Amino acid sequence: MTRKSDPIKKLTPEEKENVTKTLRVCVTGAAGQIGYAFLPLISNGSVFGPHVKIQLRLLDIPAAVKALEGLSMELHDGAYPLLEDVAFGSDPEEMFKDCDVVVFIGGFPRKQGMERKELLSINGNIFKTQGKALDKVAKKTVKCLVVANPANTNCLILQQNAPSIPKENFTCLTRLDHNRAVSQLWKKTNMPLYSIKNVIIWGNHSSTQYPDVNHGTIAEKPIKKVVEDEEWLKGAFITKIQKRGAEIIEYRGSSSVFSAANAIKDHLRDWYHGTEPGTWVSMGVVSDGSYGVPKGLVFSFPCICKKHFEYEIVQGLHIDPFSQEKINITTKELEEERDEAFAEEKKPQEAAAGEQKE
């Protein structure tokens, strides 16, 4: 008896394109907890899909190289069909070479008693070095996602030090804040998570961020009409999202890990595959001047993503006075961070200019 073979599935045009697609992805700070939680997601197809093969590059400080080797062993032992190869090291030029995507999780954490200015200075040096390495060896089409805090300003420093790479290729993570906002609305209303759409995180990934529900819907109805609690929406809801990271640290003793890894996955997946029709997501991107935000700041906006890492900022949304005030506050903080981050860099330039005049 002859057994008939299974019919060959006809691939869609997109599947045909992706079946031979390979992305080289570098993760910095890979030996840390967020990296440990994120790497299985990118290796099993949760990020770029089941038809995209992955070449992983793991970067961390020299003291973590042994841990990276162990991590590489685990990735191999996972037998992920999409994982083509894994390389690791502490040299950014070596790890960034020919990369399609780089996820910047690694950064210097804020310690007790540390001034924000000090944190900006230390991380500024890290991202300045990595930006120059990126500019030198990565593909000019490389797409960058900065997670390490202060994420917006770290992203700005990175972008400024990689001038040959388009500004649109640099983003920072505010999807975790976006997901937190959706989750709080779910808890408040008991409506399905998938029915909650188009909340917005404006501004900085910090306690000044503004979670905005004015344009969002739940089951296709305006959020304000479903919740019907203006005091909560303008008070406790905003405060909860702004302080959620600190709240988790208080209870866990350390910052968010798998929720952050999941948000990285969501950000990259939507950036690569595109957002659903009629929906947007929150992304930190280089401002083009939309909504009066100064050009060049890395600012969280509502974004619509198209396929293959294209996005556009949602235009034409009405901003009421309450929202405008909140947006102004977070904009001011980002301007202050920018000025602090680049202040040390300007000093030698100003001194040299003074010497030339003399």
What lies within 8 Å, CB to CB, of 84 at 6+ separation is 22, 53, 54, 55
| Beta carbons of 83 and 54 less than 8 angstroms apart | yes
Cα 205 to chain centroid, rounded: 10
| Beta carbons of 172 and 154 less than 8 angstroms apart | yes
User: E strands, the chain, where?
Assistant: 21-28, 52-59, 83-89, 101-104, 143-146, 170-172, 196-197, 200-202, 210-212, 217-218, 221-222, 281-286, 298-306, 310-313
Q: Which member of 205, 215, 267, 273 is catalytic?
A: 205
Using alpha carbons, select from 197, 179, 187 the residue that is nearest to residue 244: 179
What are 101's two structure tokens? 């995507």
**Residue 205 designated active-site:** yes
Q: Coil, strand or helix: which one is 93?
A: helix
Catalytic residues: 205
